[in-house]
Amino acid sequence: MSLLSLGRAPALMLLFQLAGPPAEPVHFRYQRQVKVAAGAAAQACAVLDGGLYAHAGTALNDIRLYDRKSEAVPFAILVSNPLSEGNDPARVLNLGSTGGKIGFDLEMPARSYTSVNLDLEAKDFLASAKVYGQSGSQAGTQGTLLGEFTLFDLTVQHLGRATALNVQESNFPRLHVELAVSAAPGTGLQTFVPGMVAGASVPPSREAQMLYTPVAEVTSLTPANGRSVATFRIAARVPVERVEFVLPPGYKTNFSRAVRITAQAAATADAEGLAEQAEHEQAEHEQAEQLTGEISRVELTEAGHAIHEEELAVPATLGANLQADATVTVTVEDGDDRPIPFRAVRLEMRQRKLCFAPPTEDAGIRLVYGDTSLRAPVYDYARLFRPVDGARTALLTPEEVNPAYRPRSDTRPFTERHPELLWIALLLVVGLLGVIAFRSIRRLSS
């Protein structure tokens, strides 16, 4: 989780925010009760759902917490995002071949890891990989066996490729890898040399990987012309950052299918809205070529190698384009194969958590939102926030209308509240000038 800073603006921005209207409980249209689990921890966190975005302001700027006495409760928002651990390179050392096997060492990043992605420049192969962890005291030895893994490229069978070493949580500074590589069945004789190992990278550990929250789900896809299509209606501003496919229990068929994700903004009535929609549609058209991926399932035994790989999620960052209600379409390219009977297809966003310090066991805390005139709050609590282990769980009740809601008075100048009067006045002036000009011409001609 990384902290979404709500208070690190420079002084000028801070003054600008303070100049905005004050937050008052009666001006929030919606509310949810916050139920905090009992416990000793002085910190509680609630997972935010996608429905909150439909009625909250841009970037959740207008959400607030109040206790039973209508006093503000400071908070911080955490976004699941392993920014502290990126996809780091692992340097390949001592690459060579011994006894028909390719061997090499990997210089690992100085952190924990649970997976290593090998960049293997070869196709149509099966490989058995033994991986050993080596510490400083194990120099010159094989080290600690971390596991034996099956890698493959089954392009010839249209079943994809897997070159990841999914080890147990480790922090060895060096790994030793031994690869026994053979040609995939049905591909003929091939020679595999050490040069096929082009590099390696280390993704974030499973502990640091992103967590997701569903925002929409369908339980059936529509088959059409060699494709299976799932259609979602998404409210404006709801972030969509991944598509996940769920297989039915006991499904055994192998597959590898391309996936395409597109978004179409809802029609708007005014000219400005139409222009904005056209820009969004153009952006979506340009992005549609990028919002593609592949899902696969492979479980078989080839030449004595047991293979089990599943990849059932596709990244899909649509948040930037969903500034209006939109229809999101997820298309699975089936080709001539039978459609996959997915149990569900889900649109998901990165998990967002709202964390705070509950004033008492039963403070009557509620989350309010729906006052779009507000700017994001600036709390010391957010600037100094540090998540703690064992934070108490907080749950949000379903959305309800704030019974005390009262809309803000419109403080804009009269001309801003009634811009049509400017056009009427302008037309009157133009008409008056026309009459004066007409009379002047008549006088001159006479």
Predicted local confidence at residue 366, as pLDDT:
95
Phi, psi (rounded to 5 degrees) for 41 = -60, 140
Confidence at residue 323, expressed as pLDDT on a 0 to 100 scale: 75
pLDDT at residue 243, as a whole number: 95
Question: Three-class SS string for 49-71?
Answer: CCHHHHHCCHHHCCCEEECCCCC
Q: What's phi and psi for 280, nearest 5 deg?
A: -65, -45
Can you give the pTM of this predicted structure? 0.66
For the chain, give the number of residues: 446
Supply the DSSP symbol for 113.
Answer: B
Averaged pLDDT score across all residues of the chain: 83
pLDDT for position 154: 86
> Domain map of the chain by residue range?
2-80+351-401, 88-202, 212-350, 414-445
Per-residue model confidence (pLDDT) at position 334: 94
Residue 299: the pLDDT is 82
Select the CATH number that applies to the domain covering 88-202 from these four: 2.60.120, 2.40.50, 1.10.10, 3.30.310: 2.60.120
- What's the pLDDT score for residue 7? 40
What was the pLDDT predicted at 430? 85
Burial 1-14 (b: 16+ CB within 10 A, else e): bebbebbeeeeeee
- The CA-CA-CA angle for residues 134, 136, 139, to 5°, reads 65
Neighbours of 296 (CB within 10 A): 18
Nearest to 157 by CA among 185, 118, 197, 136: 185
- Per-residue DSSP letter, 72: B
Token pair in block for residue 365: 């805390």
**pLDDT reported for residue 288:** 39
pLDDT of residue 207: 58
pLDDT of residue 273: 47
Using DSSP bridges, classify how beta strands 392-396 and 44-48 pair: parallel, antiparallel or unpaired.
parallel
Q: Provide the pLDDT for residue 188.
A: 76
How far is Cα of residue 87 from the mean position of the Cα atoms in its chain?
17
| The predicted structure's pLDDT at residue 417 | 61
The 3-state secondary structure of 319-361, one letter per residue: HHHCCCCEEEEEEEECCCCCCCCCCEEEEEEECEEEEECCCCC
Per-residue three-class SS string for 211-270: CEEEEEEECCCEEECCEEEEEEEECCCCCCCEEEEECCCCCCCCEEEEEEEEEEECCCCC
Give the pLDDT of residue 14. Answer: 43
Across 202-240, b (16+ Cβ under 10 Å) vs e yields bbbbeebeeebbebbebeebeeeeebbbbebebbebbbb
pLDDT tens sequence for the chain (446 residues): 555 544 444 444 444 444 568 899 999 999 999 999 988 889 999 999 988 988 998 889 999 999 999 999 999 999 887 544 568 899 999 999 988 899 999 999 988 888 999 999 999 999 999 999 998 765 556 788 999 999 998 888 878 888 999 898 888 999 999 999 998 887 877 889 999 999 999 988 765 578 899 999 999 999 989 999 999 998 888 889 999 999 999 898 999 999 999 988 776 434 444 455 555 545 444 443 346 889 999 887 766 667 778 889 998 887 545 678 889 999 999 999 999 999 999 999 999 999 999 887 677 899 999 998 899 999 999 999 998 888 999 999 999 999 999 998 765 565 666 677 777 888 888 888 888 887 788 777 76
